[in-house]
Chain A
Amino acid sequence: MTQRSLDRLVSDHEGRIRPAAPLVRLLDRLVSDRRGRIGLAIAAFVLFIAFWEFVIWALRLEPVVLPRPMQVVQALWIGFGTGAFYSHLWVTFVETTAGFAIGAGIGLVLGVAIAESRILHVALYPYLIGFQTMPKVAIAPLFVIWFGFGMASKIAIAATISFFPVVVNVIAGLATAEAARVEMLASFCASRWQIFRMVKLPSALPFLFAGLDVAIVLSVIGAIVAEFVGSQKGLGYLILQYNFSFNTAGVFAVLIVLSAMGVGLHLIVQWLQRRIVFWQRSHERVVGA
């Protein structure tokens, strides 16, 4: 907030220091306070909608190719108003979160095992890395054969896809535990388990959350792609239905619902991180792999 009183100074082509142009000063002030930032975001949104309308008008696009913004809002209204969206949203939500929970849980346990056991590390880590490079959505058709057209195959894909960022981050996180802290605990006769519980696991938590944050977003993708391959319910199924009936506005509406769900889940993970890893300052946040 202190920048508010400080106008930006720029040096001109002759090297003289002078105040920046009025527009630059105005924008600087806008981003320096909360209301200004919200205002800017709204302005950008309005500009985006205007550009959207302009493109439709200029290129004379049919609604099947690109619906007008109001038609998308209408589709959203109908979708929620008639209750058509709810059951599909619920199915995709359950697939995403159940898959995430299973994948993250297995990832956490296996990550700890691989990080703590040299034998498991040598035996499994190369395969883990090899398997990670494979595009997981490519297994989706196989999983439909194995687990059927219901929710199980979608949960399996979401779990497979959210497993990797968690396992890799847990292994990396456990390796970063400071040797100095481990030595401190050892000097007080701590057992291996005590060192793990009191130093290594807390040290790994920022990494675990970075992995969870990536995993929850990937989990949505996994569920949707699996629904594309074969399903009778879910937002992915709905997108296909709307696509077949040339209801492009409906497709857009479902995409918005999907994004909202993804953002919501991501915010929940971030909120949990702030609560649980409270000692970590924001500038030290680990960037997920």
Chain B
Amino acid sequence: MLINVRALSKAYQTRSGVQIQALSDIDLAVEQGEFICVVGPSGCGKSTLLKVLAGLLDFSSGQALLNGRPITGPRRDVGVVFQEARLLPWMTVMDNVLVPARVQKLPPEASRQRATAFLALAGLADFAARYPSELSGGMQQRVAICRALVHDPAILLMDEPFGALDAMTREAMNLELLRIWSASEKTVLFITHSIPEAVFLADRVIVMTPRPGRIQRRIEIDLPRPRTLQTMASPHFAALTGELRAVFDARGAFH
């Protein structure tokens, strides 16, 4: 098992001294190569969960293992994609992609070759020498995905990576991501607040609800792969998204 989380809880105090239960009793087991989406309204703790898994936040109680080892901080076998691209404006696209390789002192030539291959896979082969400010939002986010993959992590953690993009770019990016994922055989944990996006991408969707942040439901997505834009038009797709919406409707989370 690649990600193994048992009875994980995270509580913190606000400045006014109020105790907030951000995560409560989270159980999560993810197999190698799986694509998991965590979906929920804002404030349900899904980003907190991702930051805990990325080693950027500590947790209060429970157990969290990645690749069989407990999480004590950021790790080399994890690649994180944030909501914003977070590229460094003073570096070229190539140098931005190479940031994890430089930080982890990986062999430069091999890293460069991997970066070139990922940029080509993301349709950015001609942009390696450009600066981030010359790229559109969708292109910048694709660079961020290449950066998260360049050190060959086993796990890709994605925190609403396409949340800031317009609907059409977002659909194109989803297809792109599935293509990159199937070529790289990574395990992906993808956070989103979009139900159709979660259903389209995932092998399994984890539904989280707020106050306290806990897992409400797990739904297997048995849509055939490779998935295309036609997948979204299928009745089975509609049935699955409907089933997910019903979870939130019952909770009153949309009201």
Consensus secondary structure, chain A interface: helix
Which residues of A from 175 to 191 have beta carbons under 8 Å from B?
180-181, 183-191
Question: What are the interface flags for A189-210 relative to B under an 8 Å C-beta threshold, 1 for contact and 0 otherwise?
Answer: 1110010001100100000000
A279 at the interface (CB under 8 A from B): yes
Q: How large is the interface on B (under 10, 10 to 19, 20 to 34, 35 or more residues)?
A: 20 to 34
**Nearest-neighbor residue (CB-CB) of A181 within chain B:** B86
Interface pair B84/A189, CB less than 8 Å apart: no
Nearest CB on B from A119, distance (A): 24
Contacts of A187 in B (CB 8 A): 54-56, 74, 78, 80
Contacts of B102 in A (CB 8 A): 194, 198
Interface pair A189/B56, CB less than 8 Å apart: no
Q: How far is the CA of A191 from the CA of B73 in the complex (A)?
A: 12
Interface pair B131/A186, CB less than 8 Å apart: no
Q: How far is the CA of A190 from the CA of B56 in the complex (A)?
A: 12
Contacts of A194 in B (CB 8 A): 102-103
**Nearest-neighbor residue (CB-CB) of A205 within chain B:** B90
Contacts of B55 in A (CB 8 A): 187
Interface pair B131/A279, CB less than 8 Å apart: yes
Select which of B86, B104, B131, B133 is within 8 A of A189 by beta carbon. Answer: B104
Select which of A180, A189, A279 is within 8 A of B82 by beta carbon. Answer: A180
Question: What are the interface flags for B47-81 relative to A under an 8 Å C-beta threshold, 1 for contact and 0 otherwise?
Answer: 00000001110000000000000000111101110
Nearest CB on B from A265, distance (A): 25
B88 at the interface (CB under 8 A from A): yes
B214 at the interface (CB under 8 A from A): no
Nearest CB on A from B165, distance (A): 17
Interface pair B86/A188, CB less than 8 Å apart: no
Interface pair B84/A180, CB less than 8 Å apart: yes
Interface centre among B54, B79, B88, B100 (most CB of A within 10 A): B88
B99 at the interface (CB under 8 A from A): yes
Contacts of A181 in B (CB 8 A): 86, 88
Interface pair B100/A279, CB less than 8 Å apart: no
Interface pair A188/B133, CB less than 8 Å apart: no
A-B contacts, 18 of them at CB < 8 A, read A181-B86, A181-B88, A183-B56, A184-B80, A184-B86, A187-B74, A187-B78, A187-B80, A188-B100, A188-B103, A188-B151, A189-B74, A189-B75, A194-B102, A194-B103, A198-B88, A279-B89, A279-B90
User: Which residues in A have some Cβ–Cβ distance to B below 8 Å?
Assistant: 180-181, 183-191, 194, 198-199, 202, 278-279
Top 7 A-B pairs, shortest CB-CB distance: A188-B100, A279-B89, A187-B80, A184-B86, A190-B103, A202-B90, A189-B74
